[in-house]
Structure 1
């Protein structure tokens, strides 16, 4: 029986605590009430804040759309340059080589790392085909110094080896 009384005592204490907790105001409701009151007092400030957030969101979205378009344009120009180079390689058209050279020169200063490195590799190849070995070496050295990809570095090293005059 003693153990039953203990259980009853524990139950009584627990019930008292539950009743006390129920009488206390809810923390979430209290926080919502305070925030609502503050917003009502500072409605103008809240509206200005929301407008500022909306302007920032629109600006960020605009920048992302612009960057995506610039990237698409750079990739399109890279594809044009590669196509012109392939036309030269298959048909030997000097006009195609000059077109490819001008496209790759423009892309080599684009500021887009991957595209810039590929353009420099093609420029090195074009200069090598034109007999400008020193210019070709310079392009390959630029790529080798900047490249983050091991594949591009190995292509630059291969280009450097090929642009060296044969040993006598």
Structure 2
């Protein structure tokens, strides 16, 4: 395991200097899920929610969140993202929604935090829009699935030993 890069020799937090790094194509994909009552999922999928299109709102929230990651997470670099996709897939068998986000750029630092922020905020938005009918929803399994590019090269979740 490598050293923590956001701490200096005195143990103080600082933003990593990426100025000398090479610009490379980078991408990251993260996922999350939100479990809910079957009738809540039916309400969302049928379009019968009085607040409107829950999936569209959550997708936009996830995209906006990825763009604001450096404002939310200390020490994250502001990035010029070239692509953000947020997909929401209902799973009626398990009464949940699977959320996946992919962020891309050509830059000097990775986009893992942006993808993780996107899925987290999309899930929180689903919760917010549906909490009046289902306060017991559970957001879980927020994780990085894959990252590509950069000095460390490709990484996939199945490669990790947790």
TM-score by length of 2: 0.24
Instruction: Look at both structures and tell me which one has the larger radius of gyration over its CA atoms.
Output: 1
Higher relative CO (Cα under 8 Å, sequence separation at least 6) belongs to 2
Judging by fraction of residues, say which structure has more strand: 2
TM-score by length of 1: 0.24
